[in-house]
Amino acid sequence: MKNYKLKPNEYIVRRTSLWDKKICPIQEARQESFIIIDERCVSKPEDLCHDTVESWYSYGWGHTDLNGHICRNVGIELRWVMQILDLSDFIEVNGPIILDLVNGNLTLEIYDDYQD
């Protein structure tokens, strides 16, 4: 399975008021598969505090090193994705948003409800 790579002007989108990730947050969004990556801030499994080397390799797949950190793929999750050409226009129609960068992907949350 290949990890979906966002194209220019594409965002992973969610809506604050929706707790169920299966519900589409906005009509224009479509679902794509993303590989969930477990990244640790150590350069080798031997340096893990709470895991043994054997337990690190016994879970997940695609164990690798990325920028000096050990990583492994631990699952696949469907996420809602859409292309947004003009954020100002999007905000005007949909209200306030929160932008974030999660695992190298731009994430946009439609902030339509209070959150802690």
Within a domain: 3: no
Split into its structural domains, the chain has a count of: 1
Contacts of 43 (CB under 8 A, 6+ apart): 65, 68, 69, 70
Per-residue pLDDT tens for 2-30?
A: 678 899 999 999 999 999 999 999 999 99
Q: Which domain holds residue 74?
A: 10-110
Within a domain: 1: no
Per-residue pLDDT tens for 67-105?
A: 899 999 999 999 999 999 999 999 999 999 999 998 788
pLDDT top residue among 52 and 25: 25
pLDDT value at residue 116 = 63
Within a domain: 116: no
